[in-house]
Amino acid sequence: MTNKTPFPVITMIGDAPEEVKPVLSAQEQVDATFAKLAERSPRINDSVRRIWGSIECDRYLAKLMLDERGNRQGFPEDIFSLLLKLSLLQHELFNFAPLTKDPWHSVTK
């Protein structure tokens, strides 16, 4: 098949330039992120899905992403990015209050 238009043929959305890619809804982003996480880390995916939409999930994601013991290796970058995206989407969709106080709350102007 030959391209008879002056426009490039795009076979996959991933091939498209950023400015023409469709904008996904928050729920579509959640679904896509969970699908990627299921491929890379099924156990964590299952744990997060079970509690998704709750303050418990917010706490769990924060615990996964922050090393409180100081001796953990951490997640590979792609898994960490997926966890961070889920955390941001959770905040966007469910509007939970921050888990910790603002460290500057006691400072006055």
Instruction: Write down the pLDDT at residue 109.
Output: 58
Average pLDDT over residues 72-84: 89
Local confidence band at 23 (pLDDT 50, 70, 90 cut-offs): confident
Average pLDDT over residues 69-92: 88
Which residues span the domain enclosing 31?
A: 24-94
When divided into structural domains, the chain yields a total of: 1
Domain-located, residue 75: yes
83 and 62 Cβ atoms separated by less than 8 Å: no
Domain-located, residue 10: no
Local confidence band at 14 (pLDDT 50, 70, 90 cut-offs): low
Domain-located, residue 62: yes
